[in-house]
Amino acid sequence: MNKIRHKAADGVHIPKQLDEKKLKEAIPDKESLLTLSEFFKVFGDVTRIRILYLLSRSDLCVHDITSLLEMNQSAISHQLRILKQARLVRYKRNGRSICYSLDDDHVKQIFNQGFEHINE
């Protein structure tokens, strides 16, 4: 009764695998999927991806990143803030400079997953 059905060319209803009601109940609440999308969104910018890539090769301070990417220091700092908030990077003050590093190996894994898909 709650099956998702559609009129087909011959007028016969085609039942789908799942009950619409059950499927609807099984959807994670909007909030948790929002969190997930926000997480992926962080990877959805070239500058942040480039920063993450650099940090996957070596811990670096803001100045290093700025000069390696040949970008405005302010732009880098703004992006680092977003990466910090997403807990993708950590930082440690070292004299005047602040050294950034990847927060965990998880980031590399997600990177690789992405690369794999791209290169298919």
Q: Among the candidate windows 13-21, 23-31, 80-88, 107-115, which touches DNA by CB under 7 A?
A: 80-88
**58-61: long-range contacts at Cβ-Cβ below 8 A with a sequence spacing of 24 or more?**
59/99, 59/100, 59/101, 60/99, 60/100, 61/94, 61/97, 61/98, 61/99, 61/100
Q: Is residue 66 involved in binding DNA (CB under 7 A)? A: yes
- Per CB under 8 A, the list member of 2, 15, 18, 72 interacting with a second copy is 18
Is 96 a binding residue for DNA by CB under 7 A? The answer is: yes
Q: H or E segment at 93? A: strand 89-94
| DSSP 8-state class, residue 102 | E
Query: Which structure tokens are listed for 10?
Result: 């011959």
Considering beta carbons, is residue 32 or 77 the nearer one to DNA?
77
Instruction: Kindly state the number of chain residues that form the binding site for DNA, as judged by CB under 7 A.
Output: 33
Contact positions vs DNA (CB under 7 A): 6-11, 41, 44-48, 61-63, 66, 71-75, 77-82, 91, 93, 95-98
